[in-house]
Chain A
Amino acid sequence: EVQLVESGGALVKTGRSLRLSCTASGFTFRDYDLTWFRQAPGKGLEWVGFIRGIPYGVTTEYAASVKGRFTVSRDDSKSIAYLQMNSLKTEDTGVYYCARVLSVLDYIYGMDFWGQGTTVTVSS
């Protein structure tokens, strides 16, 4: 059974850092792209960052709102993806989800498995 479990959410002050983890099981982790999303209170889903798997060179993509502050990485030996968040702002508050990417030949069809999310609260 495919499972993704996020952890690391916390209450932090503006300007501080936080690292989220996404621990995966039930599939060959290294073969899949992974992505992070978030949902601010009362808002819709927002894409945050993306990391390709080994077949496509482990490259990354970021939303403009987080580029330069957030970094997505992965440890295929542990089946864990990370979201390192630096210089946090109050607008980064929300529930953060990781998701497995459904893709064929680097064409992305959607996100077929998601975690339950972890909550990040950034206060001033």
Chain B
Amino acid sequence: DIQLTQSPSSVSASVGDRVTITCRTSQDISSWLAWYQHKPGKAPKLLIYRASSLQTGVPSRFSGSGSGTVFTLTIDTLQPEDFAIYYCQQPNSFPLAFGGGTRVDIK
């Protein structure tokens, strides 16, 4: 099974900051990685698929990069609505797996 490790587990940031979240996988998954945003009581939202492709309707301040075993999600110019928990996921090999999540909260 593929394991995903996210870092940091939480980050405090201010509106306008740049935030970078890292996801490391236990084996090479090429570019088969997705990123999600999850707010309490809401449905998770797909942000990025195939490591760097922006899902339709997602603001361009979100970007993803990486391949193999190391991936990053970057949020440029953090907005108030971006405070949430972010998860990476390897979606293409069973069992599907998520990282442990990164909480982005207000400094």
> Could you tell me which A residues sit within 8 Å of B by CB distance?
35, 37, 44-47, 50, 61, 63-64, 97, 99, 102, 107-117
Contact = CB atoms under 8 A, between A and B. Distances in A.
A97 B42 CA distance: 10
- Residue of A99, A102, A108 with highest tally of chain B CB at under 10 A: A108
B2 to A, nearest CB: 12
A45 B44 contact: yes
Given A50-B96, A108-B96, 14 more contacts: A35-B96, A44-B87, A44-B101, A45-B101, A47-B95, A50-B94, A63-B95, A97-B43, A109-B34, A109-B53, A109-B91, A113-B43, A114-B45, A116-B41
- Residue of A61, A97, A102 with highest tally of chain B CB at under 10 A: A102
B49 interface: yes
Contacts of B34: 109-111
If over half of A's interface residues share one DSSP class (helix, strand or loop), that class is named, otherwise mixed; here it is strand
Contacts of A44: 85, 87, 98-101
Contact of A112 (B38, B46, B87, B100): B46
A110 B49 contact: yes
If over half of B's interface residues share one DSSP class (helix, strand or loop), that class is named, otherwise mixed; here it is loop
B77 interface: no
Contacts of B43: 97, 113-117
B56 to A, nearest CB: 8
Contacts of B32: 107-108
A37 B95 CA distance: 12
A68 to B, nearest CB: 14
B50 interface: yes
B77 to A, nearest CB: 24
B98 A109 contact: no
Nearest to A106: B92
A37 B68 CA distance: 25
B19 interface: no
Nearest to B45: A114
A117 B39 CA distance: 12
Contacts of B53: 109
A102 B49 contact: yes
